Amino acid sequence: MELENPLDSCTLLYVEDDKDIRRRVIPFLAPRVKTLWVAENGEKGLELFEKCSPDIVVTDLGMPKMDGIQMARAIRTTDEETPIVLTASFSEDYRLSAAIDAHINSFLSKPVKITDLVKTVEKTAEKLFGQRARSRTQSTLAQHYLAIEESALLIYLDEKGRIKRINEGMNSLLGYSEDILLGEPFEDLLYRDHTFNRYDSLFEAFKSGESWYGEVNLLSHSDCELIFKATLIPIYDTMNPSYQFMMLLDDITELVNYRKLLKNELDQTQDTLYEKIHFLKQYQNAINEGTAICRFLEDGTILKTDSRFDKIFGFEKNELVRRSFYQLCPNLETDLRAKVAEAISNRTVLRKRIRCMDRNGRMYVSDSVFIPIYRLNGEIEEIISIHNDITDIIKLNEEIRNTQKELLYILGEVVESRSQETGYHVKRVAEYSRILGRLAGLSEEEVELLGIVAPMHDVGKIAIPDKILLKPDKLEPEEEKIIREHTVIGGELFGNSERSFMKAARIVALEHHESYDGSGYPYAKEGEEIHIFGRIVAIADVFDALSVERSYKRSWPVEEIIDFMKRERGKKFDPHLIDLFLENLDLFLEVRKRENMAS
């Protein structure tokens, strides 16, 4: 497999007045880049730069009409970002201070070795595209957060429960002037006409850094009580153990008033006081179960909805009346009808997470409760469905989780790039680990976690000196001792965090070089003392390492790899896991074939 060349999608402007040098350099640069433009002096080079906007500029210093520094200064008047590599002879060294002032990114002394030039341009391209990729990721993530910020009611708090920021929607609802609550304890915002110890679990969540869900009563600036369903979410920096909180709130004050509305309606529709009391108790219990409300008949015909329910589905008031509730959940219609019918028959309450569509086809997720309401004679009157919209929470959790995954992959690829490998290595190791984890009987949650952290197995190599990490020859004993330290360094990088990502990444970094017979490192663990994540990644890493060509070794044929892994059964590798691996070898070879084609 050929290593991925970072120049493949790079455009380059090469400016050199010496024809002989151009004839020698161009045949090496042109095949390695997407597009190569050539100019014979700084004046033409500047014209090409303004016309073509190359990714990288390589220029000689001394040239007629306009030299390399003059051209670089002209470029920098409108472009501060494009990397510029300057070549200059020893006699021109006195002008290097001018090159620094012109914001030259790299300098090569003439005569320039072509290998040094290609290597410098390759590293420049790798850094440039890495920065662009990170910028795109950050921009996408920022847009997601902005969408949530604009559509939700949010309060941001620090680890001690002090208010860091209140977003515009929430601040408008509370009615306080901007920034007046910043730095104040969240408990000062709570409405005090209730039993205060009911918030003990919330205050405990602040201390422990855990999620929390419940109801909070807040005091507005005009001394009104506002009631919210609140979800407290800890937000962690993957590379930093500190955290803050985001509280996502849902205004349910209207629901309290809705109880009065139901009572008035009952006064007009029920015949006896006993019947009124009977219905009122059921309705009040139903109101306490959730946020958005829909009342419908046994066949699904909608009788009434509250404004929150109408808003979720994008309808005007009373527009949903006489439609079928089940049509809002097309993917669940048959199953949901059966579940509701079963709840009616068994006189039980149905609790179910459902996915419904609004009138524009957008999906939303709800934790829902379906409560049958009966007449005194036992016949079914109607069903009240209570819906707590958790769409934004699920999207936010998925975004945070995906961001953590992406950061771990980026870190793994950065480490591999130092050892002259590509990101395909860590991706293949992750996929091999997922497959072997499933074969070993891990749960899907464990398989997913293993696939996320497997790329972290060699993260400790980030601290190993290049002269050892990149050495093409066999390592000396003292050098071997140093490179083995990458396992301990990797474990220390993830600290002692109790977060699942960090704990699993620490295990993989520490234990992927332990051997089943106790001959491995760093702690000479043996057998099942080694965490199954470490035992799985050990097999995935060795299989991929032997399968590819590296600067210091050839790639092994499949037959030689199988023979080696069979010999190491019960020595380096867990015998049960290696048996599963070999019995299902075609699955792993398919991944290798697919990734080789992609690379």
Give pLDDT tens digits for 326-365. 888 887 778 889 999 999 999 898 988 888 877 777 778 8
- State how far the Cα of 314 lies from the Cα of 293, in Å rounded to an integer: 14
Among the four given CATH numbers 3.30.930.10, 3.40.50.1100, 1.10.3210.10, 3.30.1490.20, the one describing domain 397-598: 1.10.3210.10
Given a contact cutoff of 8 angstroms between Cβ atoms, the answer to whether 537 and 428 are in contact is no
Max distance between CA atoms of the chain, in angstroms, equals: 107
Residue 533 tokens, joined: 């994540």
Residues of the chain with pLDDT under 70: 1-5, 90-97, 137-151, 178, 193-195, 236-243, 255-291, 396-424, 497, 550-553, 595-599
Domain positions in the chain are: 11-144, 153-251, 274-389, 397-598
- State how far the Cα of 119 lies from the Cα of 113, in Å rounded to an integer: 10
- The closest of 329, 296, 328, 326 to 315, measured between CA atoms, is 328
pLDDT of residue 140: 54
**In the chain, what is the straight-line distance between the N-terminal and C-terminal CA atoms, in Å?**
8
pTM of the model: 0.40
pLDDT of residue 2: 40
Given a contact cutoff of 8 angstroms between Cβ atoms, the answer to whether 397 and 412 are in contact is no
Given a contact cutoff of 8 angstroms between Cβ atoms, the answer to whether 544 and 524 are in contact is no
Question: What topology does CATH give the domain 274-389?
Answer: Beta-Lactamase (3.30.450)
- State how far the Cα of 586 lies from the Cα of 590, in Å rounded to an integer: 6
User: Which residues lie closer than 8 Å to 426 by C-beta, 6 or more apart?
Assistant: 409, 412, 413, 416, 454, 455
Q: Would you call the peptide bond into 111 cis, given omega within 30 degrees of 0 as the criterion?
A: yes
Among the four given CATH numbers 3.40.50.9100, 3.30.70.3150, 3.40.50.2300, 3.40.50.700, the one describing domain 11-144: 3.40.50.2300
Place of tokens 């609140």: 230
Burial class of 163 by CB neighbour count within 10 A (0 to 12, 13 to 18, 19+) = buried
Given a contact cutoff of 8 angstroms between Cβ atoms, the answer to whether 55 and 111 are in contact is no
Residue 75 tokens, joined: 């470029």
Q: Which CATH class is domain 153-251?
A: alpha beta
Residue 32 carries which side chain, given as an amino acid letter?
R
- State how far the Cα of 469 lies from the Cα of 514, in Å rounded to an integer: 20
Given a contact cutoff of 8 angstroms between Cβ atoms, the answer to whether 285 and 262 are in contact is no
- State how far the Cα of 473 lies from the Cα of 550, in Å rounded to an integer: 12
pLDDT of residue 90: 60
Same-fold call for 153-251 versus 274-389: yes
Residue 267 carries which side chain, given as an amino acid letter?
D
